[in-house]
Amino acid sequence: MSDSEIKFLSYEEALKIVAAIQEEEDIENLDKRILTVYNYEDNEVCWFDYDSVVAEVKTDDKKPSKEAVQNYILHHIPDWAKEI
């Protein structure tokens, strides 16, 4: 494993950290959406590109459910999020 590979928290660990996932405008590119992850202290933990997540999660060319997007994100919280 190289140093650049991201390690993810377990789903259970992510649930202890993640308080909210908010869809927002990307302030650097107003035509893009991002999904910002917040912890219980209301600090921004990380963010995901909306289009990338939807493309990863969708099936049968349908927009994925909110639950499917949340599950994907909770399985992809980087391990360094514990330090925030």
**Per-residue pLDDT, 79:** 95
**Per-residue pLDDT, 61:** 74
Residue 36, CA distances (Å) to 26, 48, 52, 66 in order = 10, 6, 13, 14
| Whole-number Å distance between alpha carbons of 70 and 37 | 10
Q: Is the pLDDT confidence value at 2 over 70?
A: no
Q: pLDDT tens digits for 23-81?
A: 999 888 888 999 999 999 999 999 999 999 999 998 777 888 999 999 999 999 999 99
Q: Where do the structural domains in the chain lie, given as residue ranges?
A: 11-83
Best CA proximity match to 51, nearest among 33, 71, 38? 33
Strands (E), the chain: 18-26, 29-39, 44-49
